[in-house]
């Protein structure tokens, strides 16, 4: 009916929203997974800084 497709989070497989059918997204994340990934990246940067 509509020219859209559902976007699904690559980590938890929750539906995030819709985009146009001819659009693409690389590594879509929901809000919760994005926060978790950001937090884990921050922790790894702190560990790297402590080693140096």
Would you give per-residue pLDDT tens digits along the chain (52 residues)?
Answer: 579 999 999 999 999 999 999 998 899 999 999 998 888 877 666 666 665 5
Q: Can you give the pLDDT at residue 20?
A: 93
Q: Which residues pair with 5 in a beta bridge?
A: 19
Report how far apart, in Å, the C-alpha atoms of 34 and of each of 3, 26, 39 are: 27, 13, 9
Structure-token pair, residue 27: 């590594």
Q: Can you give the pLDDT at residue 48?
A: 60
Q: Can you give the pLDDT at residue 2?
A: 74
Q: Can you give the pLDDT at residue 39?
A: 80
Euclidean distance between CA atoms 21 and 7, whole angstroms: 10
**What is this structure's pTM?**
0.67
| In contact, 16 and 24? CB cutoff 8 Å | no
Instruction: Give me the residue spans of the domains in the chain.
Output: 4-51
Q: Residues with Cβ < 8 Å from 29, sequence gap 6 or more?
A: 9, 10, 11, 16, 37
């Amino acid at each position: 009916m509509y020219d859209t497709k559902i976007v699904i989070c690559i980590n938890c497989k929750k539906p995030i929203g819709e985009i146009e059918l001819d659009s693409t997204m690389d590594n879509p994340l929901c809000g919760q997974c994005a926060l978790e990934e950001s937090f884990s990246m921050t922790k790894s940067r702190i560990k790297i800084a402590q080693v140096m």
